[in-house]
Amino acid sequence: AQSVTQLDSQVPVFEEAPVELRCNYSSSVSVYLFWYVQYPNQGLQLLLKYLSGSTLVKGINGFEAEFNKSQTSFHLRKPSVHISDTAEYFCAVSEVGGADGLTFGKGTHLIIQP
C-alpha cells in the first residue's frame, strides 16, 4: 500500500512570486508520481507526471516537479504565479505494475494574493 502526504493544506503566495507545494510519499514498491490541479467546481486535470528517467519533470502552465527518491518527495514548483493559478493541487501515486488506480494526498489550496 502507498500513502501520500501533502504537508501544507493552504499556501498563500503573492502574485508573481515563486511557489513550492510539497509532497512526500511512502511505498514499499516502485511508484509513478502525479500532480493534478482542480479549479473551483471542476474536475481534476493532470499537471505533470514522473514515470522514469530525468528527475525534473515539466508540466503545463509553467509548473515543474522534481522527483527525489532518497527523500521520497515530489515537490511542485512554479517560478512566478498568476492569479489564475488559484486552485487545489493534489499529489498522487500509482503502483508500477499495479491496477488499483491512484492514491491521493489531501490536497493543497494555493491562494494567490494580488
By CB under 8 A, tell whether 100 contacts other proteins.
Answer: yes
Which among 1, 3, 10 has a CA at the least distance from the CA of 107?
Answer: 10
Work out how close the CB of 64 gets to other proteins at its nearest, in angstroms, rounded to a whole number: 16
Work out how close the CB of 12 gets to other proteins at its nearest, in angstroms, rounded to a whole number: 17
By CB under 8 A, tell whether 73 contacts other proteins.
Answer: no
Cα distances (Å, whole numbers) of residue 81 to 22, 74, 84, 106: 16, 19, 8, 22
Instruction: Characterise 9 by phi-psi region: left (phi > 0), alpha (psi -120 to 50), beta (else).
Output: alpha
Work out how close the CB of 9 gets to other proteins at its nearest, in angstroms, rounded to a whole number: 7
Query: Of the listed pieces 15-23, 42-50, 64-72, 73-81, which binds other proteins according to CB under 8 A?
Result: 42-50
Query: Of the listed pieces 15-23, 60-68, 70-78, 89-97, which binds other proteins according to CB under 8 A?
Result: 89-97
Which among 11, 16, 21, 29 has a CA at the least distance from the CA of 103?
Answer: 29
Provide the 8-state DSSP code for 8.
-
Given 57, 107, 110, 112, the residue binding other proteins (CB under 8 A):
107
By CB under 8 A, tell whether 105 contacts other proteins.
Answer: yes
Which among 95, 79, 74, 86 has a CA at the least distance from the CA of 113?
Answer: 86
* Residues lying near other proteins in the complex (CB under 8 A): 4, 6, 9, 32, 34, 36, 42-46, 49, 51, 90, 92, 94-107
